[in-house]
Amino acid sequence: MATNDEPKIPMASSLQQVVGALIFGANRAITIDEIRKCLADAAEMDTEQNETIKLFAEASPREIKDVVIGISKELTRIGIGVILEEIAGSFRFQTEPCCGRWLRILLKADRPNRLSHPALETLAIIAYRQPISKSEIMAIRGVTVDHLIKTLMELHLIRIVGRSELPGRPFLYGTTPTFLEHFGLRNLQELNEIDPTLQRSRKAERVAVHTRTKEKEEESVFDNTPNLFTPSETDPQPPTPTTDIEDQKVEEEQ
């Protein structure tokens, strides 16, 4: 009969331990749901029915999230240059921006390219007004955006999210999860916090704006103001979005 020579691996003492280890060990951003599933799977696969493992498996998404937030706050508090961030609905460890210059030296990394002002402005318009067509973007910017749209698509920052029902059936554009990552955003709602005057309109309001005719509309924060670049008869009218994009979920692949 085997003796108790086998070294016994200690059991995790807190959910926080496991969660932290998972986020670190994953080596990529992971979601609350992935953590939850992992905890549940562990209990299923545990032949010895360990109480702790079972307990962890019962953690709700809310409880897991609270643990993650706890880790994040603690890391920030102790100030070791490593923080836990939520980006595009997932969680990951990263270094603090203030330490970038040293890391760049150690890792021999170049400073990455940044987007130009016209590209950023076009992106901002799409981000706050999506779903939106090219001609609507043009009406706000006052100049064509063809090349910029192409570039932003190639960079996977925007994508086609639908087509208008109206003549010409122009494409409608929206942002991608990569967009959220590139700007360090948790989700699209965070955009409202950044610029409260540019509240992202809800879909219903967007539809309402789109189906209004050229008569003077009443003032509203969400209006596309009437402008001098009125489209000609042959241009597509403001589109009605056909796809359901209430709040952009981050399930789509990149």
Partner 1 sequence: MSIDDILTEDYKVNLEVFEGPLDLLLYLIRREEVDIYDIPIVHITRQYMDYLDMMRLLDLNIAGEFLVMASTLMMIKSRMLLPVEERSSEEEMDQEWVDPRLDLVRQLIEYKKFKDAAQNLQMREIMVNEAFLFGGDAPHFEKGEVNGSQALGDIGLFDLLTAFKDVLERAPSEPFGHIEPIVWSVPDKMTYIQELTEANDHVRFSLLFHPESHRNEIIVTFLALLELLRLHQVVLHQNAAFHEILIFKAEDDSTGADPVNF
To the nearest whole angstrom, how small is the minimum distance from the Cβ of residue 52 to partner 1?
27
Residue with tokens 């042959």: 234
Report how many residues bind partner 1 under the rule CB under 8 A: 60
Q: How far apart are CA 215 and CA 40, in angstroms?
A: 58
Structure tokens at 76: 């920030």
Q: Give the number of other CB atoms < 10 A from CB of residue 60.
A: 10
To the nearest whole angstrom, how small is the minimum distance from the Cβ of residue 170 to partner 1?
19
Q: How far apart are CA 30 and CA 166, in angstroms?
A: 40
Instruction: Confirm or reject binding of residue 231 to partner 1 (CB under 8 A).
Output: no
Asked whether the beta carbons of 138 and 125 are under 8 A apart, the reply is no
Q: Across-strand partners of 90?
A: 87
Instruction: Confirm or reject binding of residue 153 to partner 1 (CB under 8 A).
Output: no
Instruction: Confirm or reject binding of residue 212 to partner 1 (CB under 8 A).
Output: no
To the nearest whole angstrom, how small is the minimum distance from the Cβ of residue 129 to partner 1?
9
Instruction: Confirm or reject binding of residue 22 to partner 1 (CB under 8 A).
Output: no
Of the candidate spans 10-18, 51-59, 68-76, 221-229, the one that interacts with partner 1 by CB under 8 A turns out to be 221-229
Instruction: Confirm or reject binding of residue 15 to partner 1 (CB under 8 A).
Output: no
Asked whether the beta carbons of 157 and 217 are under 8 A apart, the reply is no
Q: What share of the chain is helix, strand, coil (3-state, %, to 5)?
A: 45, 10, 45
62/117 with CB nearer partner 1: 117
Asked whether the beta carbons of 8 and 67 are under 8 A apart, the reply is no
Residue type, 66: D
To the nearest whole angstrom, how small is the minimum distance from the Cβ of residue 107 to partner 1?
4
Instruction: Confirm or reject binding of residue 224 to partner 1 (CB under 8 A).
Output: yes
Instruction: Confirm or reject binding of residue 21 to partner 1 (CB under 8 A).
Output: no
32/145 with CB nearer partner 1: 145
Sign of CA dihedral 26, 32, 33, 35: positive
Instruction: Confirm or reject binding of residue 111 to partner 1 (CB under 8 A).
Output: yes
To the nearest whole angstrom, how small is the minimum distance from the Cβ of residue 75 to partner 1?
14
Instruction: Confirm or reject binding of residue 76 to partner 1 (CB under 8 A).
Output: no
Instruction: Confirm or reject binding of residue 197 to partner 1 (CB under 8 A).
Output: yes
Helix ranges restricted to H, the chain: 15-26, 32-45, 51-57, 61-78, 100-106, 117-129, 134-141, 146-154, 177-182, 190-194, 203-211
Scan residues 177-196 and list those touching partner 1 (CB under 8 A).
178, 181-185, 191, 194-195
Name the residues that contact partner 1, by CB under 8 A. 24, 27, 85, 92-101, 103-104, 107, 109-121, 123-125, 127-128, 140-144, 147-148, 151, 155, 178, 181-185, 191, 194-195, 197-198, 224-229
